[in-house]
Structure 1
Amino acid sequence: MGIFDALTTAVGGLQAQSFSLQNISGNIANASTVGYKGINTSFEDLIPDATTPSRQVSGGVTAYAQATISTSGTVSASTVATNMAINGDGFFSVQASTGTVDNQPVFSGITDYTRAGDFQVNANGNLVNGAGYYLMGVTVDSKTGNPTGNVPQVLQFQNNFVPAQATSSIQYAANLPTVPATTASTTAAAGTITGYGGLNTADFTQNPLVLGTPATPFGDNAVTGSAALNQAATPGPITAATLLSGTAPSNSLTSSFVAGNTITVDGQVINFVNTGSTAGTTAVGVTPINIDISDTVGTLLGKIAAITGVAPTINASTGAITLHTGTAANLSVASNNASAFGALGFPTTMTAARTGGGGIGTGFVIGNDLTAFNNESISGGAVTGYNAAGTPVNVQLRWVKSDSAALGSPHQDTWNLFYQTDPTATGTQVGWVNVGQNFTFNSNGSLSSPSGTAITIPGVTVSGQSLGNVSFNLGSNGLTQFASTGGTATINTIQQNGYAAGQLQSVAINNNGLVVGTFSNGQNLDLASVTLSHFNGTNYLQALNGEAYAPTEQSGAAIAGASGTISGSSLEGSNTDIADQFTKLIVTQQAYSANTKVITTANDMVQSLLAVLR
């Protein structure tokens, strides 16, 4: 070893520091490069052989690159929906295009890896980052969200078209009032289901409750008039002037009927005639039905009894008359003589509904019964559904309270749900269909039946469009019956899973690493899953142009999956620390200058040696 070895070592030092300067320069230049991983310089000494340690001298130096690929850069938000960053371990799988054929990129099939997530959609529907690498991933089924394979492919979303999906389920949550505010309830008789806001099957030509529900037998309903003026209230002999006058006080009136007066009971007309004797009175069933004005109130009430099937009664003390509906039909009474009929204690016209209902439940509301149905039901909301071809249909829902615990045991709060099948139904055409389920509630407002979280509505058809069987999902505590001041249903959720066909409008990447497409039908559907890979020897990957890396023997092959997670609308910046690089730059500059000083000194010593020869 000697002066010339010192010159050689100093030259090696210059080369090593130049190598370091080159790395520092590259790091600083790429301080703003997305996903860039800086390269540090590692120096190693080169020791010449020596026979003994005491004769060993310090050797030269060489420089090596030290990758920092495993060190993450800062993640920041981006306004581009297809930008993404990896938090933690992992790399995006990408391929570089080797050319184009028919305006479509051609690939070599070699997969590279990068953390530069500045991907954007190009004209062909590929996701390409700023360095020109094409993103790879696994496509997923847009309806189920399940992967369609497990081998990553170059993703392309050009003109994606999603077919229509028929409505197969409705998600529903609502609170039904304990007492619904229906139109009929304001005029209904107290103590009836209608009076509690419910549906009275007697008002329908077909019982619309659950198909096959045993009918509640019709029952008689009584209506009592006001106290009638009778002969007992006006002492004196009964004369011809007090017509329809029998024995006081219960069968005589102080008012007169005259010939030509009529009383119509359930459509049958009773005519008043004046023949001078009761011989002019005819029996019910004989046309016409006549009663002589000289006959008694009892005779008139007997005729009414023959029509309704139940005899009216008279309060012997007050003369108040009680009429009955019977079970055959609702009672309807009218008179063309307001004064005389008023003497009986009733207005000119009077109606009363029988109790109960007739007929087994049909589960349908026909056109003839639409008015009664609307009056005795409340809205349950509406949702737009779709058939298999994507045709939209308006699914209207209405609730009816078919039983009320307020009526006493064994009654319980029960509701029925209907959907509108034909908005234009008339006559015997079906307008609304009962879903076929009794919804019953406990006293605390919780649903007691059905016990599950969903029922199936069979064969749903709306305006001629078939949706098939539809699942009506209530979830946990989705349907309740709590008191409501408004008496209306409070709809918390009403959603369905169908949609029309649609074409892809835009794509975005979410935080689950899924490529989500927004379609013209308003649907946001998963299109692909971005796959991540990792390496056992991450820092031994071979760097490529454009922040990409290729596997080496030292890095090992790519391993599918990674512990890192994807952040959508984000970018990972360079991991270069400018302050650290400037510090290293100063050290490198000083070391480089020191090596030049060694060369100058060695040169002076050589010159001195050469001077000896002179």
Structure 2
Amino acid sequence: MGIFGALQSAVSGLKAQSHAMENISGNIANSQTIGYKRIDTSFVDMIPDAPVKQQIAGAVSSYSRSMNTLRGDIQNADTETYMALNGNGFFVTEKADGSGGTFYTRRGDFDIDRNGYLVNGAGYRLTGLGMNNGVVTGSVAEAVKIDNSFLPAKRSTTINYQLNLPQSPKTASYVSTTPGSELLKPWSYSGDYDGTPIAPKIDGMPGTPANVPAYGYGNVVNGSALASTLSIPDGSVLRFTIGTPPVDRDITFGPLAGQISTAAPVTIAGLLSAVEGALQGLTTDLEKVGIKDGRVFVQLEAGSPDALVVSGTAAPLLGLGAITSSIPPASYNSTNVPADQLGLALGGIHNKPLEITIGGVTRKYLLDATGTAVAGSGVVKVDATGSVKEMLDVIQADLRAYGGPDAGGATLAWDTTNGLVVNFPGNYRSNVSIGGAAASALDIADSMNAATGTLAEVSAANSELFVKESISGGGITVYSQTGEPVNVQMRWAKVSDEAGIATWSLFYASNSAPGATDAWTKMADYTFDQGVLSGITGGSGVTVSGTERLTINSLSINGRSFGSITVDHGLKGMTQFADNSGMATTTQLKQDGYGAGEFISVGISDEGQVIASYTNGETRAVAQIITASFSNPNALKRGDGGAYTATTESGEPIINQSGEGIVGSSTEASNTDISEEFTKLIVTQQAYSANTKIVTAADEMLQEALNMIR
């Protein structure tokens, strides 16, 4: 072909470089266009057919090469509806004018137009699948349209409630040194408690003689000491004047026959025993001359109304100068009746056991009416040689000190009207049992169960007391069918704790009106075994399902009914473990209702969902954005505004409904690299200039050829 072939090749080079220059200029022009994909230029040599030894370099042709798979930088955007694709794929769109067709784009600067559609800067509407209650309901993609109407209210049906209750609640009434002060005391709620609160009180009427016989105490003595230590001279007389009219009975001390010897080896105990024997031979009125509680003691027989006077020269040596007169029943009281006069009909109380059990605490006593009883291990010996009051005071003091928290106010008293009364005022929790031979003799062998009473409701009059004896369980707002809000305040009160089994009552504030009889209403009782919830007992109108949930069949607050509502605790959501704060620790408290809300904004989630937000704090997924990918995305046909259409070479779109790769509040920048384009610009310019030189040289050669014929 020669010079003409060279000229044609140069012209093809000029055309190819012009094509490349056009692409470079377009890339540079769109370097700031959102989602723009640059076009590169490829060159193909055009070789004419010729023998091998006559082949030439040939001409050149150019074609455009799309760079659709090369992602641009992801940039943050202030507009919540802007989005980018972090990966392959395209947004599926349609024209905003409704002219039809499906277009694919990487341009994600979508915003809401006046009709509520999401339209990008090039005028293409975003399409997606409709959603309802978080579930995709659409099967055909359609333009995403935002409905800015009010979100209707939803009635609350479930409260998810989980917490840990402290082992020892630090209520306002709690005193660390007072056991049981952390517990609710239903019996204190006058007019509110159900049932009959009972504080155990056991009484009996132990038998006493028709008269308490005359008696008297003398000197303190050692019964095993020799009688000679008393220094009673021979011939000394001990006179007992008994009865009305009085009759003297004389006992003489000395070595003669009929006298009481004080010579060794006679002991004081033996001496007094001899006096008792001799005197009983003179009268049937005498019961005792001997030693009682370490003292010389004289007493007439039980029930004797006779007077007793002890005189004579030996009386002051034995300390028997003062004798108590016989006491008739009308004058009996706990201070003047000897303890050993109780229960005589049943053999008396001396050396007999008495057991008193309060709850799980048992106190054991042995009553000693002579000062000679021996108590075993764990048994308290009670001196019964004095008055009834003195004996009861010893038992009372021991119960208060060691009988457990519910025996702290125990009282023991006796009088002829009420008999012997063992009382546990304020103890409405621990059962009481009294037993033993002494209990039978005293007529108090009995058992009585304590009863706290129960609280189903707390009136406004007792509300302040209730708040002091309970701890806060938190509060939550629930909604009616029309969106009316109401705050549900809850409080927990511990009502019992025995042997690791604790019971708590959950109340909610049901009526804030002054004078209301139902200021607080019990929801349920919760039983914990070693800190683990073992059972729930529902209050009135409450249905329980195992230990996981309960349902208030008709929640009423301040006279307004909010329908049935379920309180869901989950599988292990309620516990009772030690907490130094003494307060309830809430781990979950939420509900499923809400009031009506006004539309305020729309955004894109990480799952590629279009999320509408409302003034009530609720959000709703209104559409699932879909994306399309292609087997050969670089074969898509380019259109205005960064939109593409599918071609035979690109293949059919592969639709993805997962929202994978969608990034909200972002845009994808152009993938044009300015520095790279400038480099290509220089090369293209030089190549174009070189091709012009070939045209010039070929022209000059042709001119020389023409000049040959001149």
> Is the structural similarity TM-score above 0.5?
yes
Structure 2 Cα separation of the partners of residues 220 and 360 of structure 1: 14
Per-residue CA distance 1:439-479 (angstroms, 9 max, x = gap): 4142xx44455675544443322223333333323346543
1:188-267 → structure 2 map (5 Å cutoff): 195-204=180-189, 218-220=198-200, 246=332, 249-250=335-336
Structure 2 Cα separation of the partners of residues 474 and 248 of structure 1: 59
Matched, 1:399 2:508: no
Query: Which residue does 1:47 correspond to in 2?
Result: 47
Q: Is the 8 A contact 2:187 2:452 kept in 1?
A: no
The code of the aligned residue for 2:121 comes to G
**Matching residue within 527, 537, 557 for 2:652:** 557
Structure 1 Cα separation of the partners of residues 130 and 96 of structure 2: 20
* Greater CA drift, 432-441 or 384-393: 432-441
Structure 2 Cα separation of the partners of residues 153 and 206 of structure 1: 67
Query: Which residue does 1:415 correspond to in 2?
Result: 504
Unaligned runs of 5+ in 1: 99-106, 210-214, 224-231, 253-312, 325-331, 333-349
Per-residue CA distance 1:84-134 (angstroms, 9 max, x = gap): 111111111112222xxxxxxxx1231211111112223332222221222
**Matching residue within 377, 395, 417 for 2:470:** 377
Cα distance 1:572–1:365, how it changes in 2: closer, same or farther (>3 A)?
same
Per-residue CA distance 1:264-307 (angstroms, 9 max, x = gap): xxxxxxxxxxxxxxxxxxxxxxxxxxxxxxxxxxxxxxxxxxxx
Cα distance 1:519–1:542, how it changes in 2: closer, same or farther (>3 A)?
same
1:63-462 → structure 2 map (5 Å cutoff): 63-98=62-97, 107-141=98-132, 144-186=133-175, 195-204=180-189, 218-220=198-200, 246=332, 249-250=335-336, 315-317=389-391, 352-356=425-429, 363-367=456-460, 369-404=462-497, 407=498, 409=499, 412-424=501-513, 426=515, 429-442=517-530, 445-449=531-535, 453-462=548-557
TM-score by length of 2: 0.62
Q: Is the 8 A contact 1:363 1:434 kept in 2?
A: yes
The code of the aligned residue for 1:560 comes to I
Structure 2 Cα separation of the partners of residues 608 and 572 of structure 1: 58
Query: Which residue does 2:680 correspond to in 1?
Result: 584
**1:509 positional shift:** 1.2
Q: Secondary structure at the match of 1:384?
A: strand
**1:516 positional shift:** 1.7
Q: Secondary structure at the match of 1:596?
A: helix
Per-residue CA distance 1:13-44 (angstroms, 9 max, x = gap): 10110000000111111111111100000111
Q: Secondary structure at the match of 1:160?
A: coil
Structure 1 Cα separation of the partners of residues 77 and 514 of structure 2: 56
Q: Secondary structure at the match of 2:65?
A: strand
Report sequence identity in percent: 38
Q: Is the 8 A contact 1:249 1:317 kept in 2?
A: no
The code of the aligned residue for 1:502 comes to G
Query: Which residue does 1:501 correspond to in 2?
Result: 596
Structure 2 Cα separation of the partners of residues 149 and 522 of structure 1: 26
**Matching residue within 603, 606, 611 for 2:702:** 606
Structure 2 Cα separation of the partners of residues 397 and 468 of structure 1: 18
Q: Secondary structure at the match of 2:482?
A: coil
**1:321 positional shift:** 11
Q: Is the 8 A contact 1:460 1:469 kept in 2?
A: yes
Cα distance 1:222–1:57, how it changes in 2: closer, same or farther (>3 A)?
farther
Cα distance 1:369–1:517, how it changes in 2: closer, same or farther (>3 A)?
same
Q: Secondary structure at the match of 1:61?
A: strand
Query: Which residue does 1:474 correspond to in 2?
Result: 569
RMSD of aligned Cα (Å): 3.6
Unaligned runs of 5+ in 2: 204-215, 217-320, 339-386, 400-408, 410-422, 430-449, 537-545
The code of the aligned residue for 1:515 comes to V
Q: Is the 8 A contact 2:94 2:102 kept in 1?
A: yes
Q: Is the 8 A contact 1:178 1:484 kept in 2?
A: yes
Q: Is the 8 A contact 2:533 2:547 kept in 1?
A: no
Cα distance 1:503–1:236, how it changes in 2: closer, same or farther (>3 A)?
farther
**1:391 positional shift:** 0.4
The code of the aligned residue for 1:536 comes to S
Q: Is the 8 A contact 2:199 2:451 kept in 1?
A: no
Q: Secondary structure at the match of 2:701?
A: helix
**1:492 positional shift:** 3.8
**1:355 positional shift:** 1.1
The code of the aligned residue for 2:153 comes to A
Structure 2 Cα separation of the partners of residues 162 and 314 of structure 1: 81
The code of the aligned residue for 1:150 comes to S
**Matching residue within 611, 619, 630 for 1:524:** 619
Per-residue CA distance 1:308-351 (angstroms, 9 max, x = gap): xxxxx963358699799xxxxxxx9xxxxxxxxxxxxxxxxx99
Q: Is the 8 A contact 1:314 1:322 kept in 2?
A: no
Cα distance 1:23–1:135, how it changes in 2: closer, same or farther (>3 A)?
same
Q: Secondary structure at the match of 1:430?
A: coil
Per-residue CA distance 1:1-24 (angstroms, 9 max, x = gap): 222222122111101100000001
Query: Which residue does 2:341 correspond to in 1?
Result: none
Q: Secondary structure at the match of 1:7?
A: helix
Structure 2 Cα separation of the partners of residues 46 and 530 of structure 1: 47
Q: Is the 8 A contact 2:23 2:39 kept in 1?
A: yes
Cα distance 1:196–1:217, how it changes in 2: closer, same or farther (>3 A)?
same
Per-residue CA distance 1:464-512 (angstroms, 9 max, x = gap): 3333333323346543323334422233432222110111111111222
Structure 2 Cα separation of the partners of residues 488 and 26 of structure 1: 70
Greater radius of gyration (CA)? 2
Cα distance 1:15–1:600, how it changes in 2: closer, same or farther (>3 A)?
same
* Greater CA drift, 198-207 or 502-511: 198-207
Cα distance 1:247–1:68, how it changes in 2: closer, same or farther (>3 A)?
closer
Structure 2 Cα separation of the partners of residues 360 and 198 of structure 1: 13
**1:413 positional shift:** 1.8
Q: Secondary structure at the match of 1:601?
A: helix
Q: Is the 8 A contact 1:207 1:358 kept in 2?
A: no
The code of the aligned residue for 1:471 comes to T
**1:49 positional shift:** 2.6
Q: Secondary structure at the match of 1:159?
A: coil
Query: Which residue does 1:31 correspond to in 2?
Result: 31
* Greater CA drift, 525-534 or 18-27: 525-534
Structure 2 Cα separation of the partners of residues 448 and 8 of structure 1: 98
Q: Is the 8 A contact 2:334 2:389 kept in 1?
A: no
Q: Secondary structure at the match of 1:571?
A: strand
Cα distance 1:435–1:130, how it changes in 2: closer, same or farther (>3 A)?
same
**1:572 positional shift:** 0.9
Cα distance 1:27–1:318, how it changes in 2: closer, same or farther (>3 A)?
same
Instruction: Give the aligned length.
Output: 489
The code of the aligned residue for 2:200 comes to D
Cα distance 1:606–1:35, how it changes in 2: closer, same or farther (>3 A)?
same
